[in-house]
Chains A and B, each alone.
Chain A
Amino acid sequence: TQLLEQSPQFLSIQEGENLTVYCNSSSVFSSLQWYRQEPGEGPVLLVTVVTGGEVKKLKRLTFQFGDARKDSSLHITAAQPGDTGLYLCAGDGGSEKLVFGKGTKLTVNP
Chain B
Amino acid sequence: KAGVTQTPRYLIKTRGQQVTLSCSPISGHRSVSWYQQTPGQGLQFLFEYFSETQRNKGNFPGRFSGRQFSNSRSEMNVSTLELGDSALYLCASSRDRVTDTQYFGPGTRLTVL
Given contacts A40-B106, A41-B106, A43-B104, contact A96 B90 (CB under 8 A): no
Q: What are the interface flags for B3-33 relative to A under an 8 Å C-beta threshold, 1 for contact and 0 otherwise?
A: 0100000000000000000000000000001
A42 to B107, CA, bound (A): 6
- CB of A96 within 8 A of CB of B99, answer yes
Q: Please, which residues of chain A bring their CB within 8 A of the CB of B35? A: 100
Given contacts A31-B99, A103-B42, contact A96 B107 (CB under 8 A): no
Q: What are the interface flags for A96-110 relative to B under an 8 Å C-beta threshold, 1 for contact and 0 otherwise?
A: 111111110000000
What distance in Å separates the Cβ of A42 from its nearest Cβ neighbour in chain B?
3
A100 to B102, CA, bound (A): 13
- CB of A96 within 8 A of CB of B97, answer yes
A99 to B33, CA, bound (A): 13
Tell me the nearest residue of chain B to A102, going by C-beta: B42
